[in-house]
């Protein structure tokens, strides 16, 4: 509700200091009884609100539960994540986001789930999304760009994920073209960009981001642990998912502004600073077959340029990359 959000904003601005019930009521424009009632609700949702006679209320710390309020509190954006919908369990946040997009959800709308029962990767692959441990999120974006530039958004998102993880954990992950985020060579995050278009106009881009946050090694199957990792495994401690989502929203918004105002060039150079594949010998498995050679870089469309041993340069639009 509005009172609840105003209350969370007020606590956020108070920075852990006490605010009296009277002042809260005045600022928000409701009764002290209403304030009290909303604070009781916040407590039920896992917020630690301390009440002290003559001093008022203060918010002690963030809970570890994911919720719309948890994400909203501390969000530093204007658009991205401002409309947020949280679900305990969904089939896939991509599916939910598509429905919301079709019903007119605005740019920046964020769908987050604590668990996905049918999380999806590219093609028909599965994305393992167990309960309470990761960030399973889909953003509805409505950028005013041409369809053929949409792949650039995947690369932009990869940069946003790297920057958000770096900010929150001080670990700098690497990007493996086109959409894998790796730490020590293992996949910590996958990105799936899907388009809804009519003729040549983009209606919406559904940007799906899955980040392994608090899984332990034995939370992964023997098959997946060979190539996957989580932030907790790498860092040795639990990471607050809400903070990471907020940071992700922040960087997506910043990078989108940069992209809209200056084009793909600055995004491309940021991407290249984090990319592992560039300059290395790789093997690219595509629908047209496997190409071996040296990854030269990406072009302005976000297409990977691969130099074969005979000197020919192949443009790779979509592939799975193995390092030779």
Residue whose pair of structure tokens reads 């769908």 in the numeric block:
111
| Contact criterion met (CB below 8 Å) for 11 and 59 | yes
Of 82, 77, 112, residue with least CA distance to 97: 112
Instruction: Provide the minimum distance between the beta carbon of 273 and ligand BTX in the complex, in angstroms, as a whole number.
Output: 22
Would you say 117 or 238 has its CB closer to ligand BTX? 117
Instruction: Provide the minimum distance between the beta carbon of 115 and ligand BTX in the complex, in angstroms, as a whole number.
Output: 11
Instruction: Provide the minimum distance between the beta carbon of 211 and ligand BTX in the complex, in angstroms, as a whole number.
Output: 8
Would you say 109 or 179 has its CB closer to ligand BTX? 179
Instruction: Provide the minimum distance between the beta carbon of 86 and ligand BTX in the complex, in angstroms, as a whole number.
Output: 13
Would you say 212 or 214 has its CB closer to ligand BTX? 212
Would you say 183 or 278 has its CB closer to ligand BTX? 183
Of 113, 294, 103, 306, residue with least CA distance to 196: 103
Helices 264-274 and 241-262, axial angle in degrees (round to 10): 140
* Phi then psi dihedrals of residue 184, to 5 deg: 45, 45
Instruction: Provide the minimum distance between the beta carbon of 189 and ligand BTX in the complex, in angstroms, as a whole number.
Output: 8
- Footprint of ligand BTX (CB under 6 A): 92-94, 116, 119-122, 125-129, 136-138, 179, 187, 190-192, 208-210, 212, 224, 228
Query: How far apart are the C-alpha atoms of 140 and 70, rounded to whole Å?
Result: 20
Would you say 112 or 295 has its CB closer to ligand BTX? 112
Would you state the structure tokens that stand for residue 137, as one six-digit string? 């999120």
| Contact criterion met (CB below 8 Å) for 55 and 24 | no
């Amino acid at each position: 509700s509005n009172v609840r959000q105003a209350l969370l904003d007020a606590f956020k601005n108070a920075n852990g200091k006490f605010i009296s019930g009277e002042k809260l009521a005045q600022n928000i424009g409701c009764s002290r009884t209403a304030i009290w009632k909303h604070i009781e609700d916040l407590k039920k949702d896992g917020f630690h609100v301390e009440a002290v006679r003559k001093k008022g209320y203060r918010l002690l710390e963030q809970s570890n539960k994911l919720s719309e309020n948890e994400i909203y509190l501390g969000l530093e954006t204007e658009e991205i994540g401002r409309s947020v919908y949280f679900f305990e369990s969904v089939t896939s946040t991509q599916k939910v986001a598509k429905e919301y997009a079709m019903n007119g959800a605005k740019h920046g709308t964020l769908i987050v789930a604590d668990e996905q029962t049918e999380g999806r990767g590219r093609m028909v692959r599965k994305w393992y999304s167990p309960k309470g441990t990761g960030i399973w999120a889909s953003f509805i974006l409505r950028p005013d760009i041409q369809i053929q530039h949409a792949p650039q958004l995947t690369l932009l998102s990869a940069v946003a994920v790297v920057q958000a993880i770096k900010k929150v954990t001080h670990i700098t992950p690497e990007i493996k073209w086109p959409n894998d985020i790796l730490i020590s060579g293992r996949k910590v995050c996958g990105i799936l960009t899907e388009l809804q278009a009519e003729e040549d106009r983009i209606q919406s881009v559904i940007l799906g981001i899955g980040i392994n946050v608090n899984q332990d090694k034995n939370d992964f199957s023997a098959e997946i642990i060979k190539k996957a990792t989580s932030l907790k495994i790498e860092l040795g401690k639990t990471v607050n998912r809400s903070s990471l989502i907020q940071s992700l929203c922040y960087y997506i918004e910043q990078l989108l502004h940069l992209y809209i105002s200056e084009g793909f060039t600055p995004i491309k150079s940021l991407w290249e600073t984090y990319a592992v594949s560039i300059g290395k010998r790789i093997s690219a498995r595509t629908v047209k077959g496997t190409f071996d050679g040296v990854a030269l870089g990406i072009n302005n469309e976000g297409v990977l340029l691969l130099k074969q041993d005979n000197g020919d340069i192949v443009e790779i639009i979509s592939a799975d990359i193995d390092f030779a």
